[in-house]
Amino acid sequence: MATKTHMVTCRLDDRDYGSLHENASALDVAPSTYMRYLIRIPVSACPDPKGSRVLVVDAKTLGALRYELVRWGRHYNQGVHALNAIAYAARRKAPERDYFVQQIGIATDKLDAVEEGRRRLEGRIDELEGSIVVGDGLCRY
């Protein structure tokens, strides 16, 4: 991380000071780190006439999204692996009914876990879209 050599000082009223500390605490970061996050919000985060906007995601949330996507990949891979095992066994010899049932069950469970994770991630993204990115004036979300 780059060395921080510049200091910025500003005056805040009680409401803004409280918000600074509340929001920093909610993100589990120091107030100075929270202010750096806010500074990095591009000016283009204000809505343009076409209705698009920039959504700023903190590192903690991004990590959770990444974790969920990796988890999907693993479950998907395991589900497809179980289906490939069935196909391999069917080509080599007629698999026994119990083997089929077991492998289909494994594949179904893993692919259901992918769908469950997708729904959970969709919900988290919906929450992010509804969150306030910046307040005051024209850039209020």
DSSP designation for 27: T
Residue that is written with structure tokens 């590192």 in the block: 59
For residue 140, the model assigns a pLDDT of 39
Q: Are 34 and 27 in contact (CB under 8 A)?
A: yes
- On average, the pLDDT of the chain sits at 76
DSSP 8-state symbol, 57: -
Q: What is the pLDDT of residue 51?
A: 60
Single-letter amino acid, residue 108: T
DSSP assignment letter at 47 = P
Predicted TM-score of the model (pTM): 0.43
Cα-to-chain-centroid distance, residue 67: 8
Give 28-59 pLDDT, tens digit per residue: 888 988 888 888 776 655 555 566 655 666 67
Q: How confident is the model at residue 93 (pLDDT cuts 50, 70, 90)?
A: confident
Nearest 5°: the CA angle 59, 75, 73 is 50
pLDDT on residue 27: 84
Who has greater pLDDT, 96 or 8? 8
User: Is pLDDT larger for residue 42 or for residue 73?
Assistant: 73
63 membership: H or E segment, kind and range: helix 59-92
